[in-house]
Structure 1
């Protein structure tokens, strides 16, 4: 599997990253371990998780995902060969089961990191990410920005807290997630001002139904060596085509959880059907088309795949062997021009 440089570091991460947010909810610990074995055997060295996982987030399951990964790491002894990424939870009324309402203050970061290290059974995190900004801004399905006077925890406090752990060696590097172009450049400028390392990555949604990252952040990724870790490359599974014609497969995410309806709707259905047609003409599956498209984008450092079954995971892993021709890419662009970003 091809590898890409993580920011300006000496770390090489696999083209695909194994996402984990179903572990502890849709997947058992044993299934999580089998996924890890499959992924590592296929050449993946990059695993992404978060303190709030699994999703949907709730008090009785919070932290299970990191624990699934931790038990596998403890049993397998492969920690030094893997790049482990996790995230500290941002603020939100819907997250009060974490520290009575999490934020990105120094105290919360200290507590969050200690909990993640314990669950992961490791003494350092390779990439520690701010799951979403403390300030109110447009993320999680919002395209347009509407200004609010509330600011949240000052960025300087958050960065100084991260820098303390960088210097202590409990985290090696840090990154952003669900961040905007302004926020990314502000963090970079403030890090320079404070004389501390810059963020090395941005983990944002990116897929054929949501290419909003290209508008402002793609240039930032290139010019500031802060590449994209693309999440939801299959748009919650919609781009696999399994939900077309109003199908709702048993145990599928959109069947089980109505909160993940962001990638549904008439325009999404039309675009997905068109992309599925392109895939059929190319002799590949819709999922392989969607993942290969993300894999080939120059600003993407790693493409975060996830699956609930081993068959799905195998299909996703096979996307690294698919290279889309210029004709296929032009067909994709034609659909995008007609139906641009139907699902932020």
Structure 2
């Protein structure tokens, strides 16, 4: 990935952003670090412009924002690296419907290859991708690489008792407060009840829900031990019935997107 402007991550490199020079610097150093000649999928980590991502619910326009539109330059630069053989495909991350459409528009109008993936958060507690991105994802073939499918482990049910392991992601990253509020706790309890009713692993039910979405290309799981990894990967063998999906939807209607 190539990181956008700093969100407190200045240690990544000096010239954060998607200028031609910044992308070259990021890509060349990535190739050196992983000791390879090419990268199969190279993604833009987050937008350069100000958007409502990373827990921000509403878009707020800033007339003093310094960003200047450069969608064509970014698409063209990434296409150049595809031609050089340094990357095979490219994708976007943490993007809005506007961002998706602009990248697609520039690719189409200039006879360039389009992004093939979008890596955004998606889980039972955050289905905002369905509102504007999902239709584009399906019809324009930009598959979702769903991250945080278990919402920092919250959708495994391990925090229902109120106890938190000091090494858990939710404890290590307290700034991710969107996974810790009354609305989240209510929804998690309701979803856990559905899993218990149908004698399912709560973890696997949560992951299976993501897997079954037609716009999902891959589900990015995370595990800290082999037991968790096996439980996660076994979710590919679970298909939720229409009855279970309806019950999940009934909870969603009562408490939609408590952790955007």
Q: TM-score range by the shorter chain?
A: over 0.9
In structure 1, the partner of 2:93 is: 177
Query: Quick check: 1:294 aligned with 2:223?
Result: no
Q: How does 1:157-306 map to 2 (within 5 A)?
A: 157-306=73-222
- More deviation, 317-326/156-165: 156-165
Query: Quick check: 1:147 aligned with 2:31?
Result: no
Q: Tell me, which stretches of 5 or more residues in structure 2 are unaligned?
A: none
Considering fraction of residues, name the structure with more strand: 1
Contact (CA 8 Å) 1:93, 1:101: kept in 2 or not?
no
Shift of 1:247: 1.5
**TM-score, with normalisation over the residues of structure 2?**
0.96
Q: Partners in 2 of 1:249 and 1:101 — Cα distance?
A: 36
Shift of 1:121: 1.8
SS at match of 2:161: helix
Shift of 1:156: 2.0
Shift of 1:291: 0.0
Q: Partners in 2 of 1:209 and 1:93 — Cα distance?
A: 24
**TM-score, with normalisation over the residues of structure 1?**
0.73
Q: Partners in 1 of 2:210 and 2:131 — Cα distance?
A: 15
Contact (CA 8 Å) 2:146, 2:220: kept in 1 or not?
yes
Contact (CA 8 Å) 1:134, 1:152: kept in 2 or not?
no
Q: Partners in 2 of 1:282 and 1:120 — Cα distance?
A: 44
SS at match of 2:90: strand
Query: Quick check: 1:107 aligned with 2:26?
Result: no
Q: Which ranges of 4 or more aligned residues in structure 1 deviate by more than 4 Å?
A: none
Contact (CA 8 Å) 1:207, 1:234: kept in 2 or not?
yes
